[in-house]
């Protein structure tokens, strides 16, 4: 009887090698668009000076006349941070039995929780940015078929100039930054308009070089490219599909990472505390290898517009959303 070779072979796992689908942290851009502003309590109010500072008055006076008085105004908007948290369980028995390459369950669980917290924040940011109803009508537009930036008749520089002018006309500052999805950015590298602009340059342009050129053509100092993906399929579905978190529009916005007074900025991440991590035992469950460990991570925050129309109108005034770019 011939020997069954398979009965004499086992497969050892490679200890220092494994594969994992995950978003890179640099692909999340929510904190670029909504820079953190630390708050002490969950419920706060934010002061905003109105445009009375820009009012023209006649300053010419006779030396014997009194100078006219000037004044300024301000209003407040309320902001409320919410708790966002997730948890996962770690069984010491699993850590004992799993192959070494996947036995660091604590690390894997922490990475998984962090990834999902960041995806949730990124989706909140993209929803806020891409909802055209969050802008005054002058600060949003949708490109129609035939005039997108992928079409021969598309006019990116004119569209960009319109965006810059509209923002400056409403908040006094021209946008100095832009944000778009990785998919949009990648498609623009082959757009007829930009191909024509690059035809006298090197035949090979790196992604970073194109980003620099694109920023210059759009009239901004920097571009954030959101490359995060999300999986919204139910876990039991046979098909699991990844899709872009960010859509096909471009945001032109006033970027100011400083939380200081008297600034203009597009949005803010009002955050009550930095990310917390809490690990505890579930005494009722476990085995001789140890009790079940539960790892919880989270933070209190809310993403909101910074400069707005008024105390009763929460629309963005320091940004312009151009939809259907590609």
Q: What does the pLDDT look like over 230-286, one tens digit per residue?
A: 998 877 777 788 899 999 999 999 999 887 899 999 999 999 988 999 999 999 999
* pLDDT tens-place string over residues 34-79: 999 999 999 999 999 988 888 899 999 999 999 999 898 999 999 9
Quote the percentage of the chain above a pLDDT of 70.
Answer: 97
Confidence of residue 206 (pLDDT cuts 50, 70, 90): confident
Q: Which pLDDT score, from 0 to 100, does residue 198 have?
A: 77
Q: Is the distance from CB of 14 to CB of 101 less than 8 angstroms?
A: yes
Q: Where are the beta strands (DSSP E) in the chain?
A: 36-38, 43-49, 74-80, 82-90, 140-142, 177-181, 222-226, 229-231, 242-244, 250-253, 267-271, 276-287, 290-305, 308-310, 313-316, 319-323
Whole-angstrom distance, CA of residue 116 vs CA of residue 126: 15
Whole-angstrom distance, CA of residue 296 vs CA of residue 87: 4
Whole-angstrom distance, CA of residue 50 vs CA of residue 58: 20
Q: Which pLDDT score, from 0 to 100, does residue 216 have?
A: 93
Q: Which pLDDT score, from 0 to 100, does residue 215 have?
A: 95
Average pLDDT of the segment spanning 182-196? 90
Q: Which pLDDT score, from 0 to 100, does residue 1 have?
A: 54
Average pLDDT of the segment spanning 16-28? 88
| Strand-strand pairing, 140-142 and 319-323 | parallel
pTM of this prediction exceeds 0.85: yes
| Residue 101 predicted with pLDDT over 90 | no
Q: Which pLDDT score, from 0 to 100, does residue 2 have?
A: 62
Structure tokens at 206: 């790196």
The two most distant CA atoms of the chain are separated, in Å, by 122
Q: Which residues contact 128 (CB under 8 A, 6 or more apart)?
A: 134, 267, 303, 304, 305
CB atoms within 10 A of CB 8: 7
| Residue 97 predicted with pLDDT over 90 | no
Whole-angstrom distance, CA of residue 109 vs CA of residue 92: 13
Alpha-carbon distances of 194 from 105, 162, 175, rounded to whole Å: 47, 18, 21
Backbone phi, psi, residue 7, to 5°: -70, -15
CA proximity to 113, closest of 298, 267, 314: 298
Structure tokens at 298: 């989270």
Q: Which pLDDT score, from 0 to 100, does residue 201 have?
A: 65
Q: How far is CA 70 from the centre of its chain?
A: 40
Q: Which pLDDT score, from 0 to 100, does residue 150 have?
A: 95
Cα dihedral across residues 216, 326, 136, 270: positive or negative: negative
Confidence of residue 29 (pLDDT cuts 50, 70, 90): very high
Q: Is the distance from CB of 242 to CB of 182 less than 8 angstroms?
A: no
Confidence of residue 155 (pLDDT cuts 50, 70, 90): very high
- What does pLDDT average to over the chain? 91
| Residue 18 predicted with pLDDT over 90 | no
| Residue 99 predicted with pLDDT over 90 | no
Q: Is the distance from CB of 263 to CB of 227 less than 8 angstroms?
A: no
| Residue 203 predicted with pLDDT over 70 | no
């Amino acid at each position: 009887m011939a020997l069954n070779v398979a009965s004499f072979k086992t497969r050892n796992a490679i200890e220092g090698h494994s594969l994992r689908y995950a978003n890179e942290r640099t692909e999340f851009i929510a904190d670029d668009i909504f820079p953190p502003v630390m708050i002490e309590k969950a419920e706060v109010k934010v002061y905003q000076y109105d445009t009375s500072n820009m009012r023209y008055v006649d300053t010419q006076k006779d030396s014997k006349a009194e100078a006219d008085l000037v004044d300024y105004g301000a209003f407040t908007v309320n902001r409320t941070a919410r708790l966002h948290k997730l948890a996962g369980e770690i069984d010491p028995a699993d850590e004992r039995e799993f192959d070494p390459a996947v036995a660091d369950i604590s690390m894997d669980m922490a990475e998984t929780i962090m990834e999902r917290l960041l995806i949730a924040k990124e989706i909140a940011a993209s929803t806020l940015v891409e909802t055209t109803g969050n802008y005054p009508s002058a600060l949003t537009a949708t490109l129609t078929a035939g005039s997108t930036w992928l079409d021969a008749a598309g006019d990116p520089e004119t569209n960009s100039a319109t965006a810059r002018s509209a923002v400056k006309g409403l908040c006094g500052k021209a946008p100095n930054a832009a944000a778009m999805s990785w998919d949009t950015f990648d498609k623009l590298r082959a757009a007829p308009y930009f191909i024509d602009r690059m035809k006298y340059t090197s035949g090979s342009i790196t992604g970073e070089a194109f980003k620099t050129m694109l920023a210059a053509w759009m009239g901004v100092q920097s571009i954030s490219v959101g490359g995060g993906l999300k999986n919204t399929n139910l876990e039991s579905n046979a098909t699991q599909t990844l899709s872009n978190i960010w859509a096909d529009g471009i945001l032109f916005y006033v970027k100011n990472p400083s939380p200081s007074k008297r600034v203009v900025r597009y949005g803010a991440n009002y955050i009550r505390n930095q990310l917390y991590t809490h690990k505890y035992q579930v005494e009722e469950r476990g085995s001789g290898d140890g009790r079940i460990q539960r790892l919880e991570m989270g933070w209190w925050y809310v993403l909101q517009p910074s400069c707005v129309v008024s105390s009763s109108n929460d629309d963005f005034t320091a940004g312009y959303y151009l939809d259907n770019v590609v």
